[in-house]
Structure 1
Amino acid sequence: MGRQWREALVLGALLSLGAAGAAWSSGGGGGGGGDMPSMSAPSYDPAAEYVKAIQALNDKKYKDAERALTHVVDAAPKNAEAWRLLGVANAGQNDLKGARRAYEKAAKLEPDSIEAHRGLGAALGGLKDPKAQGELDWLKARAAACGTCGEAQALEAAVKAVESAMAGSAVAASGSLLFAGPAAGDRAYVAAVSLINEHRYDEALASLAAAREALGPHPDILTYQGYTWRKKGQFDRAETYYRQALAIAPRHRGATEYYGELKVERGDLAGARVMLARLDRICAYGCAEAEELRRWVDAGREP
């Protein structure tokens, strides 16, 4: 029985129950028994701290947001959303140097992020740093290439924000007046799994990005981001998400299984066996994830 078929059954059961509090039998991609991502984090988890930060930002409690987001980036240093929102929190306190550092990290991790370049350009403009012009040029070039694409409005607002900061106006904390909370993240997550099951991978990635923006570095979301990039044939990118998920939740069954499958696809059977041995330790009495990966390892190729 294929992994995707089982996931489709899980999704169907969730939706047929009306969903909000229904059990997700193995977490995102076999995570181990949460409900929705916003409800299944451990007692101290970067995703939980991220949700606290979102609420603090919505309440304009920028110091509280900074504190929570510092916990997030300490635990998940490759989470671009957390660094970007840390920039928002710093800018909200008029700490433009701190904002610049945070936005630089966000832009490095996600070079195509409009909001990261907007925030960085505005912080640099507020500091009278000539590098602000480079960010403004990047945004203008992106806007010219975009034309009337779906990003046109965000790019226009970003260009105006950086120009205003360079002209000496106060630096806005963010382009958004309200940050999405856990319920929106859960909805985006459910939509993403449905899209994955329909092989609509680009749309799934957009939904997963929305879920991660609302919920932060939750291992279930990261696992599915890795899975989706893997299905698009971008193995290196997929691996970064699996590694992030396992750094946060080393016993995450779904990330362990999928990372093992990726290793099989790359011809790294020794590495896949390491992942299988880890699953055998996690699942003392056996689990579907271990059996699925064992099938891959035995076959030595994608079924």
Structure 2
Amino acid sequence: MKALLLPTALLCAALAVQAADTPGASPNVPQPTVQDRLANARKAVARNDWSGAMRELNAALREDPQNADVHNLLGYTYRKRSSPDLVKAMDHYGMALKINPLHKGAHEYIGEAYLARKQLPDAERHLAELEKICGGPACEEYQDLAKSIADYKARN
């Protein structure tokens, strides 16, 4: 009987060490992918659940720090939450554009952030970039930023 207990105990110890080496992992439970986390963050944003979006996006960023979509949505979340942080928003938009200079969403959102900072020429520069990328009114991002700029001009 003792001969059977020792191998069983060793096996259990080995499994415990393996589980301890995988932080946050549960056996047979798939971990969310970056795309899963982005989808969850978009759902949280739709509910104005900014902390839930931040949680998902920061986890996605740890997994894929060079993901332009993650940086873009992080920027959006920083800009839209109840206490906006335009500096962090601009940092993430800038990173998204560094990773992918043709990222239409990042051009739209950074343009809107520039308007929030009363920097119309910079917003218009990103509108011009969108015109080059997608042919002007042919894309939603161009239309949205153009409308934001027109509204800004009407108010100021």
1:32-76 per-position Cα deviation (integer Å, ceiling 9, x unaligned): xxxxxxxxxxxxxxxxxxxxxxxxxxxxxxxxxxxxxxxxxxxxx
CA distance in 1, matches of 2:33, 2:21: 15
Structure 2, unmatched stretches of 5+, are: 1-19
Determine if the alignment matches structure 1 residue 177 to structure 2 residue 26: no
TM-aligned CA deviation for residue 262 of structure 1: 0.5
CA distance in 2, matches of 1:300, 1:276: 14
The aligned runs of 1:1-303 (5 Å cut-off) are: 177=22, 183-232=32-81, 233-284=84-135, 286-300=138-152
Q: Is the contact made by 1:185 and 1:213 (CA closer than 8 Å) also made in structure 2? A: no
Q: Which amino acid aligns with 2:36?
A: R
TM-aligned CA deviation for residue 179 of structure 1: 8.4
TM-score normalised by length of structure 2? 0.75
- Aligned CA RMSD, in angstroms, stands at 2.3
Q: Is the contact made by 1:182 and 1:214 (CA closer than 8 Å) also made in structure 2? A: no
Which of the pair has the greater relative contact order for Cα pairs under 8 Å at 6+ separation?
Answer: 1
CA distance in 2, matches of 1:176, 1:261: 44
Structure 1, unmatched stretches of 5+, are: 1-174
TM-aligned CA deviation for residue 183 of structure 1: 4.9
Change (3 A) 1:178 1:245: same
CA distance in 1, matches of 2:101, 2:149: 21
Change (3 A) 1:281 1:179: farther
Structure possessing the higher radius of gyration over alpha carbons: 2
Q: Is the contact made by 1:264 and 1:300 (CA closer than 8 Å) also made in structure 2? A: yes
Change (3 A) 1:177 1:257: same
Change (3 A) 1:182 1:264: farther
Identity %: 28
CA distance in 2, matches of 1:182, 1:283: 36
Q: Is the contact made by 1:226 and 1:241 (CA closer than 8 Å) also made in structure 2? A: yes
Change (3 A) 1:298 1:225: same
The count of residues paired between Structure 1 and Structure 2 equals: 128
1:4-36 per-position Cα deviation (integer Å, ceiling 9, x unaligned): xxxxxxxxxxxxxxxxxxxxxxxxxxxxxxxxx
